[in-house]
Chain A
Amino acid sequence: MAVIQDVHGHGHDHPTGIMRWLTTTNHKDIGTLYLCFSLFMLFVGGFLAMGIRAELFMPGIQILEPEVFNSFTTLHGLIMVFGAVMPAWVGFANWQVPLMIGAPDMAFARLNNWSFWLLPVAALLLITSFFVPGGAAAGGWTFYPPLSTQGGMGTDMMLFAIHILGMSSIMGSINIITTILNMRAPGMTLMKMPMFVWTWLITAYLLVLVMPVLAGAVTMVLTDRNFGTSFFNAAGGGDPVMFQHIFWFFGHPEVYIMILPAFGVVSEIIPTFSRKPLFGYSSMVYATASIALLSCFVWAHHMFTAGMPVAGQLFFMYATMLIAVPTGVKVFNWTATMWRGSMTFEVPMLFSIGFIFLFVIGGFSGVVCAIVPVDIQVQDTYYVIAHFHYVLVSGALFALFAGAYYWLPKWTGHMYDESLGKWHFWLSMIFFNVAFFVQHFLGLAGMPRRIPDYALQFADFNMISSIGAFGFGLTQLLFVYIVIKCVRGGEKAVDKTWEGATTLEWTHLPSPAPYHSFETPPVVK
């Protein structure tokens, strides 16, 4: 494939300071921008979580009025999903996809820049919506109408922000698909690609498929709110349940969008630290594709109490349970990769093993939720909150940490502080479980979600959960310290930092990787 021409003839020179970051078209710079943005947003979303857990520390209303509490829960969800996890994965894609396929950059370098810079605009809309009359949106991150038709300007700001975030994701995904399909080094067939690249290829297709659907739902709520339409207003002939169908047709693939790249990262790290090839590479590819395909057919499991007919409940129950099969295949393949390997347990491996352990627990509670009769009891309770925090925090977030520790030496040329990293891991593990395991019990015992105050029988576990949450939040400050410390200096990283690594960025590039890499593609055997 042709190397991208250096038209402006400044191969040894690039802008510095603010202009560098504003105008960069370099995938490494843009990856860094996404990662820094997402880390910042993690703390904004985390601040909101601390507010929620502080109010829920004891029964009674203490620090947040109910409507403010509702906006905290709403923005916590939106910011974590759209501001932290998704941009973080795009940041990883930007940094790693070109390096791992032997390409000099992304296919559409300028589009890449625009995809990123849309994000701070959206983030500003979301954050400042707290300060407009009426406050921020308070209908949940799922903003069901007719509730979301009520509410002031903060809701419209949220809806615009979602449009902007969606545009960014769609553009980014087109970029990723085009890059992967067209710019692989000679000899790198699809079935020779690293798993991280595969998972991003599949994720990008899912994004392109479902983001426009979300945009449709958002637009209809905007017009119902501002232009007198009745898409979701029964009195005007519309249908509130239709929103749920449209939203969740996006919403379910969305959660797989957040987890598939995590599977990819773990599929890189486990073989490296086991010094053994990934077990069942083709099965892993097919399993990922199956999960993505199936995820398009299960959306109504978020609607089991909405009143759908028996046939609907049964279909969606069976389809949802089916996703456990390819997911299980992945877990077994990771275990078989570790089996009879020669393992070491540096921080990336710790987070990856922690991921598998806790994600599986989240998967179990997911299968429990899939059972319709049981879901009738646990829908809209803390059981569901426990489930999705297990798969998203100790799932996606732990995998993000794993990938960050894994690739920081390649990005910066320095080793991160291994001992501090281990503290970060163990403290996160312990506090996460203290915060969220007890929420399973709260849900089973009957505590609904999205309430600022609760009956007395829920008090003990809420207090425990809040303590865990505060500890977990504080622990993440340690991660920021570790990252900054690593960027600024530290033990010089060897080019192939990890003994068992086999992918192109480790075998063919120095650490740190040069600003422009693979200007001549490597030949892959």
Chain B
Amino acid sequence: MSGSKLMAALSGFTIFGLYSGMVMSSKYNFPEPQTPIAQQIYDQHMMALWICLVIFIGVFGVMGYSIIKHRKSVGYKAANFHHSTTVEFIWTIIPILILVGISWPATKTVIEMKDTSEADVTIKATGYQWMWGYDYIQGEGEGISFYSQLSTPQDQIRNESTKGQDYLLEVNNRVVVPTGKKIRILMTANDVIHAWWVPALGVKQDAIPGYIRDAWFKVEKPGVYRGQCAELCGKEHGFMPIVVEVMEQEKYTQWVAEMQKSASVGVVNTAFVEQSSDKN
């Protein structure tokens, strides 16, 4: 039996070590951070992983050794000790110190995440069952309003045609923001609790009816970043994604001009939103 236990222990360690080593690939870890906050989150998670790995090897190294050596079948006779205040003290204090070490940078990030002051562009995101509504309420683009709905065709969802590359992560109208500017997002909801989440930006905030909460991000690189609703909101919870397109400043100015010219993009007044009668 010891052979297979060894196998199990070894494969356990290997899997863990292998997986820890594969951290840079986006299939195994957070997507590549695009904002300073997302970068801090990525780094703190990596630090936590390394600490966990060290503790894992320490504890299960000792336990694995004991399982192999301290067994009746090889004739090992049990000792009789069963307490030691010194040892208990040590293995209480060291974890406390490790936790303090982890919470120090985390505290700084928490405070930084909350500071949404002096934003360049402010956009209100309203969660509906089952889509998002966006109103640009301050900064360049003020007055722009539109709904943003899933644009993946139903026949892809129903397996009647091949799924596109951005299956379930594409919308008809994207949230467009300029590079290098502080963007503040206000979240609220029209009906039930939703949550606005874009992993690459490191932003997630519940959108709660009757509440307004905010978050901020700042992206240097142009690109398209996709996220999903992150709070169960009914049957189409998995079908109301978020797409943020970050454009160079000049392109953004162009986009604003086009949007303000075409007045046909959707009404923002929530009183006119048709409520589906079956919410389940």
Contact = CB atoms under 8 A, between A and B. Distances in A.
B102 A321 contact: yes
A314 to B, nearest CB: 6
B30 interface: yes
B280 A329 contact: no
Contact of A278 (B82, B168, B193): B82
A329 B67 contact: no
A240 interface: yes
Nearest to A62: B159
Given A373-B40, A379-B204, A280 B83 contact: yes
A364 B114 CA distance: 26
Interface stretch (B117-125, B171-179, B205-213, B254-262): B205-213
A60 B66 CA distance: 48
A325 B193 contact: no
A294 B232 CA distance: 28
B99 A321 contact: yes
A239 interface: yes
Interface in B103-118: 103, 106-107, 109-111, 113-114
Contact of A325 (B44, B99, B199): B99
Contact of A281 (B15, B82, B163): B82
A313 B45 contact: no
B226 to A, nearest CB: 8
A70 B232 contact: yes
B118 to A, nearest CB: 18
Contacts of A479: none
Which of A134, A321, A368, A371 has the largest number of chain B CB atoms within 10 A? A371
Q: How large is the interface on A (under 10, 10 to 19, 20 to 34, 35 or more residues)?
A: 35 or more
B109 A317 contact: no
Nearest to B87: A336
A241 B209 CA distance: 10
A367 B106 contact: no
Interface string B27-66: 1111100000100110011001100100110011011001
Interface of A: 59-62, 65-67, 70, 134-135, 138-140, 144, 146-147, 150-152, 234-235, 238-241, 274-283, 305-307, 309-310, 313-314, 317-318, 321-322, 324-325, 328-329, 331-333, 335-345, 353, 356-357, 360-361, 364, 367-368, 371-374, 376-377, 379-381, 426, 429, 433, 437, 441, 444-446, 448-457, 460-461
Interface of B: 1, 4-5, 8, 12, 15, 19, 26-31, 37, 40-41, 44-45, 48-49, 52, 55-56, 59-60, 62-63, 66-67, 70-73, 76-84, 87-88, 91-92, 95-96, 99, 102-103, 106-107, 109-111, 113-114, 156-159, 163, 165-169, 191-193, 195, 197, 199, 202-206, 208-211, 213, 226-239, 279-280
